[in-house]
Structure 1
Amino acid sequence: MFSTYLNALFPVVFCAALGLGLALRTTLLDAPALSKLVTLVGLPSLILSALLGMQTPIWAVSDTLFAIVSVLVLSAVLGAVGLKLAGLEVRGYLSMLVNPNTGNLGIPLVFALLGQDALIHAVVISTVVQISHFTLGVWLLSGQFSAKAIFSNASIIALIAGIVWVVTGWHTPEAVSNTVDLLAGMTIPVMLLLLGKSLSTIDLRELGRLGTIVGLSAGRVLLGLGSALAVVAVLPLEPVVAKTLLIQATMPVAVISYILASHYHGPKDDIAAVILVSMPLSLIVVFGVLQVFPMLG
């Protein structure tokens, strides 16, 4: 099992490390439009490719939607209570605890561990978490709610369009599916390279508040895992959905949490440090989950 996990994890870690190295030594990843390319073209194409090529019934996606929303709601309630007990500001830290890195890290890791069949569930979960970032996250940090940010999101538009296409049973021309697959193929590698680039911008000196940083890091990973385990225990999910949900929910703090905190004057330095600490912790916990729970074997 350990060698299997390492074989699946190696491409993910290598690509992220390559992105880190490129960011430190070159300007190849400096173009601001690169992340927009992934957001506006790559990820929507990945969603459409997964939906149009899915072998499972469309209602399996509705199960995934309900499951991840349940995880986020449960995490928000427990996280708010935990932050209050710890004496930390709910406004600044709750979104970070609730919303994992299901995009840059979660999607590639699920694909590496579980294969093509799990990809649709991974991108659906990631899209819901994106919505959470721009609802719960923006609302907490800014005190305002933006519906425009949700309905203008390319991933959400692609998800809705793909579901409508599949439900109606329209035939997808081969030329269209080949084009979507080609565009989708760039997404996972570029996402990992950008993840590495984002890590290069984090100031390691912020690890000075080690106790708080470690506590928040453990809180993010264990809160997500615990909430997902509770949902999996209650809902009759297909094995591939349950596996994807558990892995995605256990992911570390998302880089977008740092970006939003920087924009809205939140605790960005703490969040940057938690990203670094929670990432290896998350990968260790995912391996433990794979070992302990037979349903994931």
Structure 2
Amino acid sequence: DLNCGPHTLEAAVLRSLLPHLRDAWLEVHGSSSSPSSPSSPSSSSPSSSSPHPGHTCKAAGNSFQPRRQLPSRIDYVWSSVAVEDCRLALQTTPEGHSYSDHFAVTARLALPPPPAPAAAVAAPPAPAAAAAAKEGEQQQQREVKATQEKEEEAQQQLRRQARRRQAALLRAALGVVGGGVGRASQTAGGHMLLAGIMLVQALCLCAFQPALSYLRLPPLPPPLVPLLPVLVLLLGLGAGVLGLVGLGADCGQSRALQQAALQLHVRIAELEEEGEGEEWGKEGGE
């Protein structure tokens, strides 16, 4: 079902693209003289001298035929072998109705004869020719083996370069992680030192008024006396927060960085072992 008539541009393009295929209907019935015009009763009757139009769509006698539309032949059987017969099929049901708005097309093709057997078996090659052929085959095998060895060497070189690049990147990452470990340790120590200083200040403020009394110095003004507990509380809270940060966050970060550095060391060692194993295998093969 190509949805185009045999004399349309689309059919001409298909024939030019597929020149080895032939229209089975035209092979049997010939070309219609007026393909685009509706078939008249005289042209569709068996006694007419003009070729059968072979209309498959909107054909006369089709119960699905719409009004005021021209019949056309848009269903085909194309073949590259000889055609013995081609006709319309599945036109009406036993009750006299059409199966659809299209008629089917059936064709009987003639298969080509099988090829004739060989006249005689080819004579065996001469000894010299057989030796030359064997030598050529061995030479070809050697060339193939040499090519495979070169390809394997190139692949090994690429793998070695990739391992070197990966090891260099891992070493650079190890340096960054090692610096992070040092900075994390320094940060933790700074936080702990600052927490200790604040704690000492809080203790000094707690002993400030008793020290004034012991040394018989003038006491603090009454408006400043309530501020001492507040300052002690703030210093204590600050020391506690800094201590938790130094012990918890900074030390935890330092441990995580140390584990990452250890994993990087292991991966670098694996890459170096792979490279040494490959070199050892290459030397053993040689």
Query: Which band: TM-score by shorter chain?
Result: under 0.3
Q: Which has the higher strand share?
A: 2
Larger relative CO (CA 8 A, sep 6+): 1 or 2? 1
Q: Which has the higher helix share?
A: 1
TM-score normalised to the size of structure 2?
Answer: 0.20
Q: Which has the larger radius of gyration?
A: 2
